[in-house]
A = this chain, B = another copy of it.
Amino acid sequence: MAKLQKSIEKRDALVQATIDLVNNHGFHATPISKIAKLASVSPATIYLYFDNKQDLVNKVYVEVKATFTDYAFKTYSPTMPVAEGFELIWKRIADFKLNQCRESLFLAQCDNAPIIDETSRQEGISHLKPLLDLWQRGKTEGVINPVSDFLLYAYTINPLSFLMIMQQRGVFKIEKSHIEEAFQAAWNSIKKVN
């Protein structure tokens, strides 16, 4: 086998082709033959890098999700005050969704539809732990509303996915000012008021 000897560039071309085609047509409407063509590779070559089509999309999902969360938490430290840490993470996430549209759209597709395997989905979610820990801290300190993490996510992170999809679809353009408005909306929806 010796996977390390195989061309990294070729594997990466396959990953990029998968992202593009799934974004534009959906996973099940994207044939292996087209992924191969877009990556300038033979269909058979795909099976040297991945077990099968399902394994391909699972692996792409987990890797893109890891890239996303790495970016999101890059400048965050658990010692920061809750409000500051949240703003930091939120704006990194907004930044990612704004500037890395292809990757973000792919993640949104996989998160909302029955495309990837449950284990890969779980693995993706596990990368969000720092944010969940921050929220826990915020609730304990009385800075964040003591509601379910699902609600916090629904009202702070998920709206960004929606806006990104609208932007990708060409009906809405996210400007710098929108980011600030959106952050205020997010923070207002979860901050504790006494």
Measured CB to CB, the residues of A under 8 A from B are: 23-29, 108-109, 112-115, 145, 147-148, 150-151, 153-155, 158-160, 162-163, 165-166, 171-172, 178, 181-182, 185-186, 188-190
Contacts and interface: CB of A to CB of B under 8 A. Distances in A.
Contacts of A147: 178, 181, 185
- Interface majority SS (helix, strand, loop, mixed), chain A: helix
A61 to B, nearest CB: 14
A86 to B, nearest CB: 15
Contacts of A23: 114
Contacts of A155: 155, 159, 182, 185-186, 189
Number of copies: 2
A178 B112 contact: no
Contact of A151 (B26, B109, B150, B181): B181
Contacts of A163: 150-151, 154
A154 B159 contact: yes
A120 to B, nearest CB: 14
A85 B77 CA distance: 43
A148 B185 contact: no
Contacts of A150: 162-163, 166, 171-172
B172 A162 contact: no
A166 B111 CA distance: 10
A115 B178 contact: no
A162 B185 CA distance: 17
B190 A185 contact: yes
15 contacts: A28-B28, A29-B114, A109-B112, A109-B113, A112-B165, A145-B181, A147-B178, A150-B166, A150-B172, A151-B178, A154-B163, A155-B182, A155-B185, A158-B158, A158-B162
A112 B113 contact: yes
A160 B158 CA distance: 10
